[in-house]
A = this chain, B = another copy of it.
């Protein structure tokens, strides 16, 4: 990248996602110039280092984003609500990993493999050549704000969007297998601590989650709406997918479950296409898709797992097969018979593609010339 070094701020640098942002910036050779690391008062003054990048942790304060080119936020919604717009007004390209602005109509919600044009519009607008109506611009119209979708949504859409683009999607039935990392470093620590206790003959003591976590699983811990009975994680998958696709036409139901895995989410996805396709056409669409890696070896029984996804860039897709419940020939459907129902099983690193990596990709799309 023949790009001038950019001044980068990370807000929530000590969290599981914040640390991963430091790792991803280096791995992707993002042109980091000056680096400012923000954390809570408890950590202020301490030093944080991940590989070649590091610095002294400071607390956000008025003026702290002056001169910052790119600000990556992952410190929770309250911090984002307080500081994202001031940072954008100060001229920074702000990517917020919290849910604070995801459904805000002014703010683009972007998965680079699905709707990169919204980030490209911002790049053009900042260069003075974009439409005046571009979403996400604040203050001087140099600064802007993009929202990073929820991890489960990102991972699902990277795998499903190729089918949406090629055949249309009518309905998705998804069940998730979500890692501890979605609850941050403290969620991962709770799983490890409880597991250590249980394998030593002790008892699990829930603190972060209400249910015991060692050798257990439970309905996602986010708040549940008492009327429709979906938790916030599930409604995010529905509403965010609709916003990213720019259409509510895909009917979605989701069941989100936390499993005793450390850092990658899996999803079992049943797809009803809008237009029939053959299994071979579906496979071809997935093979050609950006951000997708196929692991689908029926003979070796080798498919996506959380461990295979952990630390990697791609969403792993496997168990690609005709859904016998939506095919007139059931299990006898051949790979060249057009049908509308398919099943997939996918895995993606929650901290990377589900959070830090997607955020850095968005920063690249807006700041680095194509």
Q: Enumerate chain A interface residues (CB-CB to B < 8 A).
A: 171-173, 175, 177, 191-192, 195-196, 199, 210-212, 215-219, 221, 223-226, 228-231, 235, 238, 251-253, 255, 257, 259-262, 266, 268, 270, 298-303, 305-307, 318-326, 330-333, 341, 343, 345
For A331, give the chain B residue with the smallest CB separation: B228
> In whole angstroms, what is the CA distance A305 to B221 when docked?
13
Contact indicator B305/A253 (Cβ below 8 Å):
no
Chain B residues, Cβ within 8 Å of A253: 270, 323-326, 341, 343
Chain B residues, Cβ within 8 Å of A330: 251
Given contacts A177-B257, A215-B306, A216-B261, 16 further A-B contacts (CB under 8 A): A173-B323, A173-B325, A175-B268, A210-B300, A219-B303, A223-B301, A226-B299, A228-B331, A228-B333, A229-B320, A235-B331, A251-B324, A253-B270, A253-B323, A257-B345, A270-B270
Chain B residues, Cβ within 8 Å of A324: 228, 230, 238, 251-253
**Residue contacts A-B, CB under 8 angstroms, 28 given:** A171-B325, A172-B325, A173-B325, A177-B177, A191-B215, A196-B199, A210-B300, A211-B305, A215-B261, A215-B262, A215-B306, A217-B306, A219-B301, A219-B303, A224-B299, A225-B331, A226-B299, A228-B321, A228-B322, A228-B332, A228-B333, A235-B331, A252-B325, A253-B270, A253-B323, A253-B325, A253-B326, A260-B261
A261 to chain B, nearest CB (A): 5
> In whole angstroms, what is the CA distance A343 to B228 when docked?
11
Contact indicator B345/A177 (Cβ below 8 Å):
no
Contact indicator A319/B266 (Cβ below 8 Å):
no
The answer to whether residues A326 and B251 also contact, given A210-B301, A270-B173 and a CB cut-off of 8 A, is yes
> In whole angstroms, what is the CA distance A257 to B224 when docked?
26
Contact indicator B217/A298 (Cβ below 8 Å):
no
For A333, give the chain B residue with the smallest CB separation: B228
Count the copies. 2
Question: What's the dominant secondary structure at chain A's contact region?
Answer: mixed
Contact indicator A229/B321 (Cβ below 8 Å):
yes
> In whole angstroms, what is the CA distance A298 to B220 when docked?
12
A270 to chain B, nearest CB (A): 5
Chain B residues, Cβ within 8 Å of A210: 300-302
Contact indicator A224/B298 (Cβ below 8 Å):
yes
> In whole angstroms, what is the CA distance A257 to B225 when docked?
28
> In whole angstroms, what is the CA distance A162 to B167 when docked?
37
A87 to chain B, nearest CB (A): 33
Chain B residues, Cβ within 8 Å of A322: 228-229
A212 to chain B, nearest CB (A): 6
For A223, give the chain B residue with the smallest CB separation: B301
> In whole angstroms, what is the CA distance A279 to B26 when docked?
51
> In whole angstroms, what is the CA distance A224 to B345 when docked?
15
Contact indicator A177/B259 (Cβ below 8 Å):
yes
A311 to chain B, nearest CB (A): 13
